[in-house]
Copies of this chain bind each other. A is one copy, B any other.
Amino acid sequence: MGKQQTPKVKIIPLGGLYEIGKNITVIEYKNDIIVVDCGIIFPEDEMLGIDVVIPDITYLERNKDKIRAIVLTHGHEDHIGALPYVLQKVSTPVYGTKLTLGLVENKLNEKGIKNANLNIVKAGQKTKLGSMVVEYIRVNHSIPDAVALAIHTPEGAIVHTGDFKIDYTPINGKMMDLNRFADLGSRGVLALLADSTNVERTGSTMSEKTVGNTFNDIFMDAEGRIIVATFASNVHRIQQIVNAAVMFDRKIVVSGRSMINVVKVSTELGYLDIPEGTIIDINDMNKYPDNKITIITTGSQGEPMAALSRLAFSDHRKMELIPGDLVIISATPIPGNEKTVARVINQLFKKGANVIYEALADVHVSGHACKEELKLIHSLIKPKYFIPVHGEYRHLKQHAQLAEDLGLDRDNIFILENGSVLEVCRSDAKLNGNVPSGHILVDGLGVGDVGNIVLRDRKHLSEDGLIVVVVTIKKEDGKVVSGPDLVSRGFVYVRESEDLMVEAKNVVRNVLLDCEKNQITDWSTLKSRVRDSLRNYLYQKIKRNPMILPIIMEI
């Protein structure tokens, strides 16, 4: 290379690496930035009290002027969920397919965000954004209208698969556009970013249609009501439930806020085909015999506030489970939800329902490509450089290995981290530093005001509770005039541990007397002595370590 640096394309993932969720990637060329997706991730167990987690977009805020658009691959939360937060900081057009933007609009409305610049595109179409052109390519996934992106830069095409699977018999007949992938591959692709979620699974993901066959078999034999729980966004799944219901002459009740919402949006936009008169109001359900009813509901993840849980625990305002009900849980527990789902299943059985779930029948298929599908995509696209995305480290690592096994040079494969800057051009690719990245915690209306210290305190409080020690002292001489009073929460059941609390108070009293005797009036010394003595006493006595909060009042 000469002295004059060739302008390079920068690929900067701000989220979605070392994690499954929070997908957001920057593609940058000279003065143009395109942002691919803008998702949330659900909090880890140790993020106590946190509602959702969004990406750190400091880099976007610093480069506001360069941003040409946010381009969305599909309408799942981990790809669109952070938009309401990001659009408040960065004003830019948003591009996505009809269903994707239908869901986005809904989300923005809920957060009271108006005047967003939303632009509907279709698979096959292209959008010029500054020096780059974005092309939308149809893929199959567990939500309709999903696309991969080919971002044509002056240095070559960058293909980002988004989330995808290959479904040769999709419900809407619209198969992934393998031909276009092949065409791009034949012409030469600079870099591929591809979904790694299912790289550990051998073979290929089953077609959505297999689930429909299972539904038909189950519906044929069912003698009572059928209740099907699934992800609200899985419109094809909902279509198949509708088809089975129609085939067996059942009416449909839709239950759960997000389910009602998605059924409405996707029917309006033409993604769901429901014969007129099929959907009935929940209040009219009793007008039909049980074997003429199907209920489609949220709650397939065992979420305690969702309709299925409410049904199971007799907490639903408008419905009650009756013995003979058949419940189909048409979903897999997302890692971390196994126990809540199991709890709901147990409870449904206890209530006399029969329950069919993934362990027992083929009532769910994944939306992500398994090993053989990934091999096909790599082989069609033949990228010069490969960056595995959408995965924990082990997925990225194994996806990198898969690419290497297919013949790609190890030096042309990059396992990036969030914030890594990869510079690519026709002749070369290399890492060049990092930009800020990370997670921002959202708790209630607070965005980013809960950090590690707060979480550490919440964890401590959650495990051992706390004891507040209050004492009022006289300003002049430091003499105790009131207290010490001890108040505990989450520590022991006080009425059964009176002796312990009386003794604990004595420990504090002795420390205070001792300090008085030794004329220690410095507050921080006083506090730390109280804390240490009480902590030692309690640990020795019952091997617990509550948070101790000494408060000194002065008069």
Residues of A participating in the B interface, judged by any CB pair closer than 8 Å: 18, 44-45, 48-49, 200-201, 335-336, 338-339, 342, 345-347, 349-350, 355, 359-360, 392-394, 397, 443-446, 449-451, 453-455, 457-466, 468, 470, 472, 481-483, 485, 487, 489-493, 496-497, 541-544, 547, 549, 551, 553-555
Contact = CB atoms under 8 A, between A and B. Distances in A.
Given A450-B493, A555-B555, 7 more contacts: A201-B359, A335-B342, A461-B466, A461-B489, A468-B549, A472-B482, A553-B553
Give the dominant DSSP class at A's interface.
mixed
Given A449-B497, A454-B490, A462-B462, A544 B468 contact: no
Contacts of A470: 470, 551, 553
B338 A335 contact: yes
Nearest to A350: B393
A217 to B, nearest CB: 17
A2 B157 CA distance: 91
Nearest to A337: B338
Q: Taking the full assembly, how many copies of this chain does it contain?
A: 2
A48 B491 CA distance: 11
A299 to B, nearest CB: 16
A338 B464 CA distance: 25
B542 A468 contact: no
B555 A454 contact: no
Nearest to A459: B462
A325 to B, nearest CB: 14
A154 B347 CA distance: 38
24 contacts: A45-B339, A48-B462, A48-B490, A49-B464, A49-B465, A200-B359, A200-B360, A349-B394, A349-B397, A444-B544, A445-B542, A446-B543, A454-B493, A457-B490, A458-B463, A458-B490, A461-B465, A482-B553, A483-B553, A485-B553, A489-B547, A489-B549, A553-B553, A555-B555
Contacts of A496: 449
A352 to B, nearest CB: 10
Nearest to A483: B553
A492 B461 CA distance: 14
> Considering the complex of A and B, which 3 residue pairs feature the smallest CB-CB distances, nearest first?
A462-B462, A444-B543, A49-B463
A339 B136 CA distance: 34
Contact of A457 (B392, B445, B489): B489
A465 B454 contact: yes
Contact of A481 (B336, B393, B555): B555
A373 to B, nearest CB: 17
Contacts of A461: 458, 461-462, 465-466, 489-490
A459 B487 CA distance: 18
B394 A345 contact: yes
A485 B552 CA distance: 10
Given A394-B346, A472-B482, A555-B472, A457 B451 contact: no
Among A45, A459, A482, A554, the one with the most B-chain Cβ atoms within 10 Å of its Cβ is A482
Contacts of A492: 446, 449-450, 454
Nearest to A397: B349
Given A338-B335, A349-B397, A542 B444 contact: yes
Nearest to A554: B482
A346 B346 CA distance: 32
A123 B496 CA distance: 45
Contacts of A542: 443-446, 449
Contacts of A547: 489
Contact of A342 (B360, B392, B450, B543): B392
B553 A462 contact: no
B468 A553 contact: no
A485 B481 CA distance: 17
A464 B449 CA distance: 13
Contacts of A466: 461, 466, 489
A270 to B, nearest CB: 36
B551 A493 contact: no
A481 B472 CA distance: 10
A408 B349 CA distance: 21
A195 to B, nearest CB: 17
Given A468-B551, A482-B472, A394 B342 contact: yes
Contacts of A554: 482
Contacts of A393: 346-347, 349-350
A289 B175 CA distance: 54
B336 A339 contact: yes
Contacts of A544: 443-446
A465 B472 contact: no
A226 to B, nearest CB: 18
B335 A394 contact: no
Contacts of A463: 48-49, 458
A173 B171 CA distance: 53
Nearest to A45: B339
Nearest to A417: B350
A74 to B, nearest CB: 24
A493 B451 contact: yes
Given A470-B553, A543-B445, A335 B339 contact: yes
Contacts of A349: 393-394, 397
A75 to B, nearest CB: 25
